A and B are shown apart, each in its own frame.
Chain A
Amino acid sequence: MNENATSSALSTAASTWAAHAPTHGSGLGELLQVVTIGVALLAATVIVFAMVRGKRVGLDVGMKLTLLLGLGVLPAIATTTGLGAVMELTKAPEACGSCHVMTPYVEDMKNPASTTLAAKHYKNRYIPESQCFECHSSYGIGGILDAKVSGLGHIYRYLTGRYEEPITLHAKSYLPNCMKCHAESQKFLGVSDHQDAAADLQSGKMKCTECHDSPHPRPAKKEAEEAAPAGPETVPEATPAASPEPENGTKP
């Protein structure tokens, strides 16, 4: 109840300040979206005009060139800008949340009362935009392409129902994704535990989440599986006290 009240007060305060903040988000994506809609509608108009006029007066050279514009040039522009818009808009958390299996994760990330790593990064604006994409894509063009190809696979599996809930993490290691921002951070370098664990982290023996909170809420089914008696090799869950991550602090 108290948490809800705090959450509501924070949301109200956020909306008050949002009016004075520069617009974040996919500005380029929205621009490309508008261009695509305009060019596609123009192409459709040109095609219909050429077909109607061509039926009456026949397809002379002028009409053939008009048709080439409507069938070739304008659709090529619309496809290119449309592809660009799709590439940009799929970076937004709303795009990730549009698949119902992802909705709880996006909602948790946006919940100011949540203590997961994703929520901490979101509420403190460590990542100002494209939050899902920034953490789930690796560095450089290769990383972006890799994330986009994975996204295509996600769409395929989502639409064909070839997935099981709760969904599981496919990637073996997220260290490069974390290091994309944290490697150069003085705050990160200043923590002696990071230096002590560097070899284990780099070799994949250890994960960031062994000390830090889970990035996302853990599904009940998975938690029940992990709570069941397991072998001695089970990795112990990290305690929140071990996490040096600030709740509402400065960027690490």
Chain B
Amino acid sequence: MNTTSQTPRLTLISAIFALLGLAGILAPQLHFTPTMLAIFILVGVPCSLLGLGLYALSVTREALKAPVDPAASAAGSTADAKRG
């Protein structure tokens, strides 16, 4: 599984959900009807949360699957050894 190509896709999906959520939040503010209220409750709030959740997942996945830089790792070990 190629994580480097998946992470931006997940970020893109989270951005789409967030934009959809924002549209849902805006709906009753621009035109106040029962349908728009339902859109606010059923689309606005859940999609905003889903967008944030997917973004958090995307960042977490990237952080966990990022390749370790050997040079930086070695430098870190040397510094630790010198400190005692």
| Chain B window 15-43, contacts with chain A (Cβ cutoff 8 Å), 1 for yes, 0 for no | 10011011001101110111101101100
Interface of B is mostly: helix
Q: Which of A40-48, A121-129, A137-145 contacts B (4 or more CB under 8 A)?
A: A40-48
Check if A159 sits within 8 Å of B34, measured CB to CB: yes
Check if B15 sits within 8 Å of A75, measured CB to CB: no
Flag whether A106 is at the interface (Cβ < 8 A). Answer: no
What residues of chain B have their CB less than 8 Å away from a CB belonging to chain A? 8, 11-12, 14-15, 18-19, 21-22, 25-26, 28-30, 32-35, 37-38, 40-41, 44-45, 48, 51-52, 55, 59
The total of interchain contacts (Cβ-Cβ below 8 angstroms) comes to: 89
Interface residues of A in 1-51 (CB under 8 A from B): 33, 36-37, 40-41, 43-44, 47-48, 50-51
Residues in B with CB closer than 8 Å to A41 are: 26
Who on chain B is nearest to A85 by CB? B29
Check if B28 sits within 8 Å of A99, measured CB to CB: no
Residues in A with CB closer than 8 Å to B41 are: 152
Q: Which of A65-73, A203-211, A220-228 contacts B (4 or more CB under 8 A)?
A: A65-73
Check if B59 sits within 8 Å of A64, measured CB to CB: yes
Check if B51 sits within 8 Å of A98, measured CB to CB: no
Who on chain A is nearest to B26 by CB? A40
Check if A78 sits within 8 Å of B22, measured CB to CB: yes
Residues in A with CB closer than 8 Å to B22 are: 40, 43-44, 75, 78
Check if A70 sits within 8 Å of B29, measured CB to CB: no
Interface of A is mostly: helix
Residues in B with CB closer than 8 Å to A33 are: 29
Q: Which of B12, B28, B40 has the most CB of A within 10 A?
A: B28
Flag whether A59 is at the interface (Cβ < 8 A). Answer: yes
Check if A159 sits within 8 Å of B18, measured CB to CB: no
With A71-B52, A75-B52 as given contacts, are A37 and B34 in contact (CB-CB < 8 Å)? Answer: no
With A33-B29, A40-B22, A51-B15 as given contacts, are A75 and B48 in contact (CB-CB < 8 Å)? Answer: yes
With A51-B15, A71-B15, A72-B52 as given contacts, are A40 and B34 in contact (CB-CB < 8 Å)? Answer: no
> A47-B19, A79-B45, A159-B35 provided; 14 other pairs, C-beta below 8 A?
A33-B29, A37-B26, A37-B29, A67-B11, A72-B55, A75-B51, A78-B25, A82-B29, A82-B40, A85-B28, A85-B29, A89-B28, A155-B34, A155-B37
Check if A86 sits within 8 Å of B55, measured CB to CB: no
Flag whether A173 is at the interface (Cβ < 8 A). Answer: no
Distance in angstroms between the alpha carbons of A54 and B15 in the assembled complex: 12
The distance from the CB of A37 to the nearest CB of chain B, in whole angstroms, is 5
Residues in B with CB closer than 8 Å to A178 are: none
With A68-B55, A86-B37 as given contacts, are A51 and B12 in contact (CB-CB < 8 Å)? Answer: yes
Check if A98 sits within 8 Å of B12, measured CB to CB: no
Flag whether A158 is at the interface (Cβ < 8 A). Answer: yes
The distance from the CB of A205 to the nearest CB of chain B, in whole angstroms, is 37
Check if B29 sits within 8 Å of A158, measured CB to CB: no
The distance from the CB of A151 to the nearest CB of chain B, in whole angstroms, is 9
Flag whether A95 is at the interface (Cβ < 8 A). Answer: yes
Check if A59 sits within 8 Å of B11, measured CB to CB: yes
Check if A98 sits within 8 Å of B29, measured CB to CB: no
